[in-house]
Amino acid sequence: MLKTISNNLFKGDKVVWMIFFFLCMISLVEIYSASSSLTYQQGNHWDPMFKQAGFLLVGFILILIITRIPCKYFKLVPFIAYPVAILLLLYVLIFGGSINGGSRWIELGTFSFQPSEIAKGALIMSLAAVLSMTQNKEQVTTRKGTKQIVTATKGGHALPFKICSILTIIICALIVTENFSTAAILFTVALIMMFIGNIPIDLMIKGVLAIGVAVAVSLSLLLITPDSILSKVGGRPLTWKHRIENKLNIGEENNKNKKYSIEDNWQVDNANIAIANSNIIGLGPGNSIQRDFLSHAESDFIYSIIIEELGVGGGIFVIFLYITLLIRASKIAQKCDRFFPAFLVMGITTIMVLQAMINMGVAVGLFPVTGQPLPLISKGGTSILITCCYFGIILSISRYAEKVSETKEEPAEAISNGETNEYYSTTGMD
């Protein structure tokens, strides 16, 4: 009976469900530990964990709902989500609230959220829809026989590249001024999706080179612009400049008497101390020392607290969970007989895993401080709910992929009418 209830409740890939629950457990333990110094002053030790548990519970309900939605309906979402995301990003640029030095938030009374989180999902779904409609299967005869290959030839090679580039540039341009790291991650994921979607390499290289030149010129101008001018401009440019200079050690050769500033490197230094405190085996859950000194220990630098308490093995286990999620997503994509769900599951999984790797890289000193949360572990309502929606989509697609595998249907060609009007057969979903 319990097995029947479990199968009815937890539909979809069981490994993905296990990854979700492991991440939730790590999140609750580490949020309680990392936030204890703040709650000690307020006299409520359990408040951060209760809030985190509340968001995870709501996210769990969202997963149960989304998992039961036939994944063919996800293709309708971009037509609404993409324009809404643009409007929200424009609103936050003009009227957005400032938290931790960045105007990234829309405040609704006691609740605030980041439109960039919505924009990420909207763009990935839009790219998956465009790429799925430009795929074509061709019969190719070789010396070894006849085989099918998939190419992005419908409408010419340049058409899908142009559409995807325009969609990506619009969203990234609206995000980059206040959240460079998010825009960079989203741009990278878009390139990966286009590569998976058979966009010609030469077109992608030309596009990347053009944008790379523009970014290089912009960074050069940023580095040579005096701080006094950047401070008058406002926003994040001055923060970007200082972080780049600190990472590249720019200016130290011209100022040999320059002293190391603990204040300027407070987060990085305390994150390194937290990792060193682990002594490989860790101090044990709840025994972190640097949580009392590390700013944003419960969000941006929670991975350093995980290593401090759970040791190197705990840090490796967290990496293992995200890598396993990516592997499972690739297997789910391989089972799909339609292009859209395959591209979608790879896109949303890639952005979660890439964001996780950036967060962990910052915590161990590999990357400059970016402010990216660790998906499903770091404190934050918007990030948790959106990440749970991603898990729901992955599980919904896995249900479809499982049924395709069970029925052993022949893969359908992604022709324009077939992909849009006969997206899934009646045997493909419940």
Least confident of 58-67, 105-114, 163-172, 215-224: 105-114
Q: If you average pLDDT over residues 105-111, what whole number do you get?
A: 67
Task: Report the candidate in 71, 85, 97 with the shortest Cα–Cα distance to residue 11.
Answer: 71
Of the pLDDT bands very low, low, confident and very high (cuts 50, 70, 90), residue 426 is very low
Of the pLDDT bands very low, low, confident and very high (cuts 50, 70, 90), residue 326 is very high
Q: What is the predicted pLDDT for the residue at 414?
A: 42
Q: Tell me: pLDDT of 127 over 80.
A: yes
Q: Pick the residue with more confidence: 391 or 269? A: 391
Angle at 348 between CA 343 and CA 349, to 5 degrees: 100
Q: Pick the residue with more confidence: 14 or 95? A: 14
Q: Pick the residue with more confidence: 7 or 135? A: 135
Upper half-sphere CA count for residue 101 (Cβ side, 13 Å)? 9
Q: What is the predicted pLDDT for the residue at 87?
A: 92
- 278 CB-near residues (< 8 Å, 6+ apart): 307, 308, 309, 310, 311, 312
Classify residue 70 as exposed, middle or buried by CB count within 10 Å of its CB (0-12, 13-18, 19+): middle
Alpha helix (H) residue ranges in 113-265:
115-133, 158-176, 180-196, 201-224, 227-233, 237-248
Q: How far apart are CA 294 and CA 271, in angstroms?
A: 7
Residue reference for tokens 């985190």: 52
Residue reference for tokens 């406002």: 234
| Secondary structure class of 123 (helix, strand, coil) | helix
Q: CB–CB of 388/39 below 8 Å?
A: no
Phi, psi of 153 (to 5 degrees): -105, -15
Q: If you average pLDDT over residues 414-421, what whole number do you get?
A: 40
pLDDT in tens, 181-193: 888 899 999 999 9
Alpha helix (H) residue ranges in 278-338:
302-335
> What is this structure's pTM?
0.81
pLDDT in tens, 244-275: 666 566 654 445 455 555 555 677 778 888 88
pLDDT in tens, 205-228: 888 888 888 878 877 777 777 766
**Sign of the dihedral defined by the CA atoms of residues 347, 319, 63, 45, in that order:** negative
Q: If you average pLDDT over residues 105-134, what whole number do you get?
A: 84
